[in-house]
Amino acid sequence: MTDALIFRSARDLIDGLRRRDFSARELLAEHLAQIERINPAINAVVSMDIEGAELAAAEADRRCAAGEPLGPLHGLPISYKDTHATAGMTTTYGSSLHATNVPDRDDEIVHRIQAAGAIRIGKTNVPEFAAGSHSFNSVFGTTRNPWAVARSAGGSSGGAAAALAAGLQPIADGTDMGGSLRNPASFCNVVGLRPTPGRVPEPGAAIGFSPLGVGGPMARSVDDLALLLSVIAGPHPDDPLSLSDDPAALQHVTTADLRRMRVAWAPTLGDRVRVEQQVLTVLEPAVQLFESLGADVEPACPDLTGADETFRTLRASQFDLLWGDLLAAHPDAFKPDLAWNIRQGQGRGESPLSSRSMWLCSGAINPGTRVRSPASIAARSASSAACSAQRDAPCSVTISSNSLSSSRRAIGGAGGRASRCVHALALMVGVGSMLAFAVRSMMRPYQAGEGVMRSGPVEGYAGRGWSLLRTWRPRPATPFRCAPE
């Protein structure tokens, strides 16, 4: 065998395994040899279980020889993103606080890939808690780009993208909040897709109603990406946002008739971002290609005013929910930019976006003051008319959650137009989540203990997403001044 085998498409490899042109053990050996050759230079795969992989490959060969049913990913080697829990294998989340963490069960995305017949080799590198566009951490160091090792592989799924590009595996899993599948795929010349929220379910997510972060696929081609997406997609009863569509329809890429389709060309997002000419030179031929296929391409971009501020505020609030208590307990264990972003979610310090702050509160909450109980909320709400003169910033409240406010600090963010965007988006997310949860509840009664994160960096927030959904109540959007403790 040669390097040509490990760079073949995932679909070709599966076909070869089914025809028994080569065995799962031989395919695994080729990928392990490639990891031994290339990984020391790029640091994409950071934990390995070679013995477990060899046993799994032998079992895959036995099943094939016996004529037993084979999964759609039969025999494909894979290392999983180190923010996805893997039973019996170290899952660090890129944090020294979890350097020895060994979960007792797989995350759902890992479970589905394993059940489809993939062979687990190890884990791929990430930034700390997957927060960042470059993959480095204090546990494993920096992942480098296989095309140019002096450059970044991107992030947060940088290890996955680098492993794909270097031939260390034919498919990869990842996650995406602000580009964590798309950014490293672009850096490493592979394919990454951020699916629609709910397409890839995340039962047990600490914040079950949030559409910000999603799991998704990576591959070296669109065809292979579609195959992996069809495996990891599909409904799950313990994810209130999961979509019910049959994932089998996603397995094959079909041609589309682009005639008379209107396509917007917005390489700079309406002059909001600077794009180097080298990048534009690569993108511009796509305009002619789409036009040759009958599409009507024209320069256009939606009004994205306030979008950056909205996203950063929502991200900061989510980071605080996930890691605020952990940061308080271990202030020196976080990289500075992540610690700063968490504190922005707590409303501590000057907002990077605006000198004023927007607070989502349940009652009158002192900026930067922890709310100790729902009773405390009610007491301060009743006395909000007697606000201290030193608190002269009115709080415009649109939605809130007793559970959120009684367990976390007030959420800091941007004021003015950004606040209105946040309010509108939060309202849409909250109402949509409540409707989804209500429908789910009618179809299937909620059972205590379901959807609980059992290990990892958000341990201690078990079931918080469900709790928020069950206790969420809208409150009037009436301005008030924040009362002191």
SS3 174: strand
**For residue 195, what are its two tokens?**
């699916």
Our answer to whether residue 180 is catalytic in this structure is: yes
Q: How far, in Å, are 85, 93, 426 from residue 453 at the CA level?
A: 10, 14, 24
347: pLDDT confidence band, cut at 50, 70 and 90?
confident
Residue 133 in this model has a pLDDT that exceeds 50: yes
Query: What confidence tens digit (pLDDT) does each residue in 94-116 have?
Result: 999 999 999 999 999 999 999 99
Q: pLDDT tens, 180-232?
A: 999 999 999 999 999 999 999 999 888 888 999 999 999 999 999 999 999 99
Token reading at 139: 């546990």
- Residue 290: both structure tokens together: 């789409």
Portion of the chain with pLDDT greater than 70, in percent: 71
User: Tell me, what's the pLDDT at 409?
Assistant: 30
Residue recorded with tokens 């995406």:
176
Please report, to the nearest 10 degrees, the dihedral formed by the alpha carbons of residues 340, 342, 344, 348 taken in order.
-90
Whole-number percent of the chain with pLDDT over 90: 68
Three-state DSSP class for residue 412 = coil
Is 123 a known active-site residue? Answer: no
Q: Where are the domains of the chain?
A: 3-250, 262-299, 307-481
Q: Which one from 23, 180, 357, 403 is the annotated catalytic residue?
A: 180
Beta 480-481 vs 394-395: how paired, if at all?
antiparallel
Alpha carbon distance 11, 56 (integer Å):
20
CA–CA separation, 169 and 166 (whole Å):
8
Digit-coded pLDDT (tens) for 265-323:
999 999 999 999 999 999 999 999 999 999 999 999 999 999 999 999 999 999 999 99
The string of pLDDT tens digits covering residues 417-464 is 333 344 344 444 444 444 443 333 333 332 332 222 222 332 222 222
In 3D space, the residue among 412, 409, 378, 383 whose CA is nearest the CA of residue 395 turns out to be: 412
- 382 versus 303: the higher-pLDDT residue is 303
Mean pLDDT, residues 156-161 taken together: 98
Residues across the chain = 485
Name the active-site residue from 81, 230, 354, 403: 81
Q: Give residue for tokens 């909320």.
A: 377
| Most trustworthy range by pLDDT among 317-331, 357-371, 377-391, 425-439 | 317-331
Q: What is the pLDDT of residue 44?
A: 98
- Residue in the structure block whose two tokens are 């006395």: 383
CA 353 to chain centre: 24
**For the stretch 282-318, what's the b/e string if a residue is b when 16 or more beta carbons lie within 10 angstroms of its beta carbon?**
eeeeebeebeeeebebeeeeeeeebeebbbbbbbbbb
pLDDT of residue 321: 94
Q: What kind and span of H or E run contains 105?
A: none
- Please state, in angstroms and rounded to a whole number, the distance separating the CA atoms of residues 287 and 282: 11
What CATH number should be reported for the domain whose range is 3-250?
3.90.1300.10
Q: How many CB atoms lie within 10 A of CB 39?
A: 23
Residue 241 confidence (pLDDT):
95
Judged by average pLDDT, the poorest of 182-196, 229-243, 319-333, 339-353 is 339-353
Check: CB of residue 130 under 8 Å from CB of residue 178: no
Cis preceding linkage at 156, omega within 30: yes
Query: In the predicted model, what is the mean pLDDT of residues 459-481?
Result: 29
Catalytic residue among 47, 95, 156, 357: 156
- Compute how many other C-beta atoms are within 10 angstroms of the C-beta atom of residue 222: 11
Report the range of poorest mean pLDDT among 158-167, 236-245, 352-361, 419-428: 352-361
pLDDT band at 483 (very low <50, low <70, confident <90, very high): very low
Rg for the chain, CA atoms, rounded: 24
Give the span between the Cα atoms of 266 and 250, in whole angstroms: 27
- pLDDT for res 351: 47
Q: Check residue 147 and give its pLDDT.
A: 98
**Res. 93: pLDDT tops 80:** yes
Residue pair 362/382 in contact (Cβ under 8 Å)? The answer is: no
Least confident of 172-181, 258-267, 304-313, 398-407: 398-407
Of 141, 73, 137, 135, the closest CA to residue 110 belongs to 73
419 is catalytic: no
Q: How does residue 2 score in pLDDT terms, banded at 50, 70 and 90?
A: low
Tokens representing residue 249 in the block: 């329809």
253: CB partners within 8 A, 6+ apart: 222, 223, 226
pLDDT at position 71 over 90: yes
SS3 state of residue 215: strand
